[in-house]
Structure 1
Amino acid sequence: MAETKTPDASRRSERSRRAIFDAALALVAEVGYTRTTIEGIAARAGVGKQTIYRWWPSKAAVLLDAFLDLAEQAAQGETEIPDTGDLEADLKLVLRATVDEMNSPAYDGPARALAAETVVSPELGAQFVERLLEPQLELYVRRLRAAQDAGQVRTDVDPRVALELFTGPLAHRWMMRTLPLTHDYADKIVEYALYGIAPRRG
């Protein structure tokens, strides 16, 4: 008599979780956040809606986890800003990659939906900052501190404040949608932040 294997519940759960993430991101991109529902996500993922409610309390929570998973996939295991010894080149590389990510339809819809939802949901906003934003900002802090140790940045500069010179303009232009996000723009942000806009002396 052939031996039958017990179904792997953890593998089945992971497949369902992945299908839910894919469905949530796809629906937000296709119909927008307000028209995305738990029922729609469940139908798209091929699961019962109670499966979703067992893991998440709301569609916003589903989208946050799906977006975090998307960000992890995009990072492809890279957990630090490169340190080649050339701070300008390293920051330009990272900001160009950020521009590409922000311009991606896979990123844009879910990111805008989460940004809007965090305004009306303090709890979601706190999770967004703790789980996604702060870990990303900490990468800049560590890279700028390494640059300080190498004598490339003044020792009196606060890296946590300085990083906003690089990330803030990108976020502002992305939110406003009035001007394009380009690699040239990213390069100029790095140059202006590192060297200032006043005339250089001698």
Structure 2
Amino acid sequence: MAQKQSAPDATRRSERSRRAIYDAALALVVEVGYPKTTIEGIAARAGVGKQTIYRWWASKADVLLEAFLDLGERAARAAGASGRAAYALPDTGDLAADLKLVLRATVDELRDPAFEAPSRALAAEGVVNEEVGRRFVAELLEPSLRLYVDRLRSAQEAGHVRADVDPRIALELFVSPLAQRWLQRTGPLTHEYTDTLVDYALNGLAPR
């Protein structure tokens, strides 16, 4: 008597397709750039029909945004933590050292084409595409900025930062210049540069 074959698992098949689409989108942005990346190209690279992509996403920007979020989550899991918790700022009691450590890691990430290319593409697309810009800020930028806010607040509680300082504004003293230099390519991204940003932000410019 012939054995009854089980029906294919549509959930697993969909997950494989989704993963292939994520990988294809990220690879193409690195290889050919965002302007030349197309839904058709992503579909061909992933080995799926383009209608499969359109069934889940409205545009290549939506594909890339989700792929990049997934890339961050995978990096977090690889670091031994769940979700974005792997990017929590350390709290050793030395605020300057903790900020320098995290900003150095940020520089390393921004110099990695696998992260830099999709980051730059999404930042540029967000300027002209309001919905992508909103999601880029809400899902990528704000979670990271909240970590800086939390670390600065813990420094306030320890008496290392003035009580009247607004952490959300203070973090811009070192995060915003780094973002500007990266976006505009106005200078090299180095560990020395981010160390200097932290020193200037925490110590000010007046003679000591």
> Which category of TM-score, normalised to the shorter sequence, fits these structures?
over 0.9
* Structure 2 match to 1:13: 14
* Structure 2 match to 1:118: 126
**Paired residues for 1:40-119 under 5 Å:** 40-75=41-76, 76=79, 77=81, 78-119=86-127
**Paired residues for 1:162-201 under 5 Å:** 162-200=170-208
How far apart are residue 27 of structure 1 and its match?
0.7
Q: What SS does the corresponding residue of 2:8 show, helix, strand or coil?
A: coil
Quick one: which of 151, 161, 183 aligns to 1:153? Answer: 161
Distance 2:6 2:153 in 1: 53
> Does residue 131 of structure 2 align to residue 130 of structure 1?
no
Runs (5+) with no aligned partner, structure 2: none
> Does residue 151 of structure 2 align to residue 143 of structure 1?
yes
What is the root-mean-square deviation of aligned Cα atoms in Å? 1.3
Identity %: 70
Q: How many residues align?
A: 200
Change in CA separation of 1:100 and 1:176 when aligned onto 2, cut-off 3 Å: same
* Structure 2 match to 1:27: 28
Distance 2:139 2:29 in 1: 21
How far apart are residue 158 of structure 1 and its match?
0.2
TM-score (norm 1): 0.94
Runs (5+) with no aligned partner, structure 1: none
Change in CA separation of 1:79 and 1:183 when aligned onto 2, cut-off 3 Å: closer
Distance 1:199 1:58 in 2: 53
Which residue identity is paired with 1:44? R
TM-score (norm 2): 0.92
Higher relative contact order (Cα pairs below 8 Å, separated by 6+ residues): 1
